[in-house]
């Protein structure tokens, strides 16, 4: 049957830039510093637990909201880190990756004709999910050079149709972080308004230089109106497992779960059991993650110090922005293609994350790689 008459719901959406650049890296044998996944493995003990439960008859449908033990451990974790008391039965939901959780939260909140504020450069799953809900994304560019939020512009952009504001801290692709005063500003703007917050916090444990992660769960007012999304895949170097969770107030979680049950219904059972045990046995993994990745950031930045790339060390995530303006005046897409195809190092351009890309010469490298990978990549980049 021909699909010629099929009307696309996402006519302006192509293949994600992460897939494009990873395939290009593979096709050209380039070092892949583009897509955000480690080239090292997850903790050995975690793999042992997964294997244990795989062979322990934990292979059937788990509860739709996640196995009870895992939700209980998540509640303990957010209490320890953020002082937030979540009811594991009604306010914690396990999802098949953070992208699913983001989709569920958007569709639980907005309907046709609503508006959702996003900050450009915005992670690329936000806007398609908004469009599929029949809503409209209102794009506000972050302020250069620090990729800060212009709260006065946010205030001017809020209308009677605004139903959701999406924040992302630590920020992908920029590596910037929000401060307490940012959360205070957001709370002031939505006070007494029917506006909710979707807080993408998947890099929560990757904040550097003595700074702390400011979760919406730490903010008494915002916590009541927010969906907070976190990722086990990012924390445990296991992005392919696609395991995440959302913490939200009971009424918000109830609407979130209505969507979740018809998107994936539930998530792989044996991995949930394994992570629940790992949370109990190895809390130090998350506690030491900032130090682990800051060492990689510092190594990568030190290796690039004598290059023609200019940069400020990332404040969070495992991404590093660099300015290639002293090397080329090509667009960031063209330069990233050139770097991958001709020089053998893959990067991510920022243009695909904008509604209206600025005329900048900035690309993103991923440093969640073995030190040897970073060293080989830096040697190439320093010779450009």
CA-to-CA dists, residue 40 to 25, 54, 75, 293, angstroms: 18, 22, 29, 13
pLDDT at residue 107 is higher than 60: yes
Query: Is 367 within 8 Å of 318 (Cβ atoms)?
Result: yes
pLDDT at residue 99 is higher than 70: yes
**Residue pLDDT, tens place only, 233-286:** 999 999 999 999 999 999 999 999 999 999 999 999 999 999 999 999 999 999
Q: Which of 269, 261, 275, 268 is nearest to 64 (CA)?
A: 261
Dist CA 248 CA 93 (whole Å): 9
How much is the mean pLDDT over the chain? 96
| Structure confidence at residue 380 as a pLDDT band (50, 70, 90) | very high
Query: Is 303 within 8 Å of 378 (Cβ atoms)?
Result: yes
**According to the model, what pLDDT value does residue 287 have?**
97
Q: Which of 146, 144, 191 is nearest to 165 (CA)?
A: 191
Dist CA 318 CA 62 (whole Å): 32
Average pLDDT over residues 67-71: 98
pLDDT at residue 145 is higher than 80: yes
Give percent of the chain above pLDDT 90. 96
**According to the model, what pLDDT value does residue 159 have?**
97
Which pairing describes strands 136-141 and 115-120: parallel, antiparallel, or unpaired?
parallel
**Under CATH, which number does the domain 17-41+287-382 receive?**
3.90.1150.10
**According to the model, what pLDDT value does residue 381 have?**
98
Q: Please name every residue paired with 320 in a beta bridge, in sequence order, or none if there are none.
A: 365
Dist CA 330 CA 176 (whole Å): 25
**According to the model, what pLDDT value does residue 2 have?**
59
DSSP E strands, the chain: 31-32, 92-95, 115-120, 136-141, 162-168, 196-200, 226-231, 244-248, 319-323, 345-346, 348-349, 362-366
**According to the model, what pLDDT value does residue 143 have?**
97
**According to the model, what pLDDT value does residue 14 have?**
87
- Dihedral (C-alpha) 146, 246, 128, 154: value to the nearest 10 degrees? -40
| Structure confidence at residue 3 as a pLDDT band (50, 70, 90) | low
- Dihedral (C-alpha) 307, 18, 12, 161: value to the nearest 10 degrees? -90
Q: Please name every residue paired with 228 in a beta bridge, in sequence order, or none if there are none.
A: 199, 247
Q: Architecture of domain 44-281 in CATH? A: 3-Layer(aba) Sandwich (3.40)
Residue ranges, CATH 3.90.1150.10, the chain: 17-41+287-382
pLDDT at residue 1 is higher than 60: no
Angle, alpha carbons 352-245-54 (nearest 5°):
110
Dist CA 335 CA 223 (whole Å): 41
**According to the model, what pLDDT value does residue 356 have?**
95
Q: Which of 53, 125, 90 is nearest to 275 (CA)?
A: 53
pLDDT at residue 13 is higher than 90: no
Dist CA 74 CA 370 (whole Å): 29
Which pairing describes strands 115-120 and 92-95: parallel, antiparallel, or unpaired?
unpaired
Would you call 349 helix, strand, or coil by DSSP? strand
DSSP for residue 316:
B
Q: How many CB atoms lie within 10 A of CB 164?
A: 26
Residue ranges, CATH 3.40.640.10, the chain: 44-281
| Structure confidence at residue 4 as a pLDDT band (50, 70, 90) | confident
Would you call 26 helix, strand, or coil by DSSP? helix
**Residue pLDDT, tens place only, 160-206:** 999 999 999 999 999 999 999 999 999 999 999 999 999 999 999 99
Sequence-distant (≥ 6) Cβ neighbours of residue 319 within 8 angstroms? 36, 172, 173, 174, 175, 364, 365, 366, 367
Supply 229's token pair.
């999304």
């Amino acid at each position: 049957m021909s699909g010629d008459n099929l009307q696309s719901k996402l006519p302006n959406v192509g293949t994600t830039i992460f897939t494009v650049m990873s395939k290009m890296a593979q096709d050209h044998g380039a070092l892949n510093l583009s897509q955000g996944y480690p080239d090292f493995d997850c903790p050995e003990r975690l793999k042992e637990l997964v294997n244990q439960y795989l062979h322990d008859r934990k292979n059937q449908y788990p509860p739709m909201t996640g196995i009870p033990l895992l939700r209980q451990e998540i509640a303990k974790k957010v209490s320890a880190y953020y002082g937030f008391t979540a009811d594991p039965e009604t306010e914690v939901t396990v999802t098949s990756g953070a992208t699913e959780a983001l989709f569920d939260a958007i569709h639980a909140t907005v309907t046709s004709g609503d508006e959702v504020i996003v900050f450009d450069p915005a992670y690329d799953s936000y806007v398609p999910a908004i469009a599929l809900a029949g809503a409209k994304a209102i794009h506000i560019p972050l302020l250069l050079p620090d990729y800060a939020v212009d709260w006065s512009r946010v205030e001017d952009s809020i209308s009677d149709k605004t139903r959701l504001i999406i924040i992302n801290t630590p920020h992908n692709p920029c590596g910037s972080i929000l401060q307490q005063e940012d959360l205070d500003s957001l709370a002031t703007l939505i006070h007494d308004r029917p506006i909710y917050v979707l807080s993408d916090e998947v890099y929560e444990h990757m904040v550097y230089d003595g700074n702390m992660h400011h979760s919406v769960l730490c903010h008494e007012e915002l916590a009541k109106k927010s969906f907070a999304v976190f990722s086990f895949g990012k924390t445990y170097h296991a992005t392919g497992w696609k395991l995440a969770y959302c913490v939200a107030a009971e009424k918000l979680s109830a609407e979130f779960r209505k969507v979740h049950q018809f998107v994936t219904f539930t998530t792989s059972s044996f991995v949930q059991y394994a992570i629940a045990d790992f949370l109990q046995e190895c809390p130090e993994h998350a506690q030491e993650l900032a130090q682990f990745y800051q060492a990689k950031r510092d190594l990568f930045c030190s290796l690039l110090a004598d290059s023609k790339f200019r940069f400020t060390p990332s404040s969070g995530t495992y991404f590093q922005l660099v300015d290639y303006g002293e090397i080329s005046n090509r667009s960031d897409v063209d330069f990233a293609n050139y770097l991958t195809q001709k020089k053998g190092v893959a990067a991510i351009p920022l243009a695909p994350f904008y509604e209206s890309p600025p005329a900048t010469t900035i690309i993103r490298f991923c440093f969640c790689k073995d030190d040897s990978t970073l060293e080989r990549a830096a040697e190439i980049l320093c010779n450009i």
